[in-house]
Amino acid sequence: MAELAELIGARIRQIRKSRGLTQEQLGERAQLQSTYIGGVERGDRNISVDTLDKLIRALEVSPSEFFYFGDNPIEKDTDKTKLIHIFISKLMKQKSQNIRKMINIYKEIFE
């Protein structure tokens, strides 16, 4: 169980930082203490499903995006929804300027 708590905590930290939020700011959004956020991110605290829901909403991600923990091979039969989630998770790691370039490429190809 501790391994799962650490994985969830690391994911919260990863998304929080990618959003440019401090633990205090995330705590305010989720109505939780920043010290509690720190304990969750370190995997020191077990959290309820309700608290996890608050954090996911405060991070402004979907549950499926939150629970995407890394690259999975893309098979020929990978469904559209999974492909979109994989693409979104890769976008989340990019700088804004790179995302703008990708949007322009998209426009060139599809519009």
What is the mean pLDDT of each successive set of 10 residues along the chain, which is 111 residues long?
80 92 97 96 92 96 83 70 78 86 88 79
Q: Is residue 41 part of a domain?
A: yes
Q: Is residue 73 part of a domain?
A: no
pLDDT of residue 10: 87
DSSP secondary structure string for all residues of 5-74: HHHHHHHHHHHHHHTT--HHHHHHHHT--HHHHHHHHHT-S---HHHHHHHHHHTT--HHHHT--S----
Q: Is residue 74 part of a domain?
A: no
Same domain (yes/no): 43, 86: no
Taking the C-alpha atoms of residue 54 and residue 59, their distance in angstroms, rounded to an integer, is 9
Structural domain for 43, as ranges: 2-61
pLDDT of residue 69: 67
Q: Is residue 53 part of a domain?
A: yes
pTM: 0.62
pLDDT of residue 30: 97
